[in-house]
Amino acid sequence: MPKTIRPKATTSDLRTQFWTAPLEAELPRDVTAAGIGYSVPWMELKAVHGGGIPYRKIGRRTLYKKRDALAWLEANSQRVKSTSEYRGA
């Protein structure tokens, strides 16, 4: 039987998965990264060095609760009306 090759999900597909998931959903790293606008390598770096979104390890899978991702985003971002209000890191 020939192996079926699935096309790789686009960032838009992953973002849609994130935003349509319920708040308590546990999502893989690629979906969470696309949903909050960060890259998978950045999320991996934060998982190693700290300061990122809390996650759960199940075997080799890393899962993030959508609720935790949104709370982290709210706590680690700022609302501005112009670039003059931006507080750089």
**pTM for this structure?**
0.82
Question: Domains of the chain: which residue ranges?
Answer: 11-74
The rounded Cα 9 to chain-centroid distance in angstroms is 15
pLDDT at position 1 is 63
Class of residue 31 by CB neighbours under 10 A (exposed 0-12, middle 13-18, buried 19+): buried
Fold category of 11-74 in CATH: Multidrug-efflux Transporter Regulator; Chain: A; Domain 2 (1.10.1660)
pLDDT 10s per residue in the chain (89 long)? 677 777 788 999 999 999 999 999 999 999 999 999 999 999 999 999 999 999 999 999 999 999 999 999 999 988 888 877 767 65
Q: What is the dihedral of CA 33, 37, 38, 40, to 10 degrees?
A: 30
Two tokens at 31? 């979906």
Cα 32 to Cα 30: distance, rounded to the nearest angstrom: 6
Q: What is the dihedral of CA 18, 19, 21, 24, to 10 degrees?
A: 90
